[in-house]
């Protein structure tokens, strides 16, 4: 695959949420959940926001003020792992909503370290028994909720 292609979070297979300075990702297919802490969360946010894979080292260099231990092979390996875990996939153009610059900067917590994915399988049975569903809020739902709160 061309290294300049965009990546995005797999739209059908995962949900993710920023919690503090971490991104938690849940695989709806397997019930596995992942913890991405800095710089892993920063890389995920950059990719989801349309940053090309080959531009990651330069972006990380800026966000972490030129860290000495920034290693391109480790970044590539981490991105490959995101794909092998079906967290991210190639796309022609990233049409995801992405993250705002403030969120990306807040995820870039020094010092820069090797990006890793913490993988947890201890709650698979619970997630698969009672799957998590993305919440879609519509105008009528908002009005119903406002009415109930009055």
Q: pTM of the prediction? A: 0.79
The pLDDT assigned to 92 comes to 75
96, part of any domain: yes
Report yes or no on 59 lying in a domain: yes
Q: Which residues pair with 118 in a beta bridge?
A: 35
* Residue 74 lies inside a defined structural domain of this protein: yes
Domain that holds residue 124: 6-149
Give the chain's domain count: 1
Alpha-carbon distances, residue 67 vs 19, 51, 80, 102 (angstroms): 25, 20, 22, 20
| pLDDT-based confidence at residue 148 (cuts at 50, 70, 90) | very low
Query: What is the pLDDT at residue 105?
Result: 96
């Amino acid at each position: 695959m061309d290294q300049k292609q965009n990546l995005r979070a797999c739209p059908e297979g995962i949900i993710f949420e920023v919690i503090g300075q971490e991104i938690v990702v849940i695989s709806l297919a397997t019930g596995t959940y992942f913890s991405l802490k800095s710089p892993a969360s920063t890389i995920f946010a950059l990719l989801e926001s349309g940053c090309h894979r080959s531009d990651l080292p330069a972006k990380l260099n800026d966000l972490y003020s030129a860290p000495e231990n920034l290693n391109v092979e480790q970044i590539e390996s981490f991105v490959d792992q995101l794909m092998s875990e079906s967290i991210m996939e190639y796309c022609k153009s990233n049409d995801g909503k992405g993250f705002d610059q403030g969120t990306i900067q807040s995820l870039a917590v020094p010092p820069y370290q090797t990006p890793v994915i913490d993988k947890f399988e201890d709650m698979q049975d619970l997630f698969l028994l009672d799957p998590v569903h993305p919440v879609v809020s519509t105008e009528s739902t908002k009005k119903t909720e406002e009415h109930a709160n009055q």
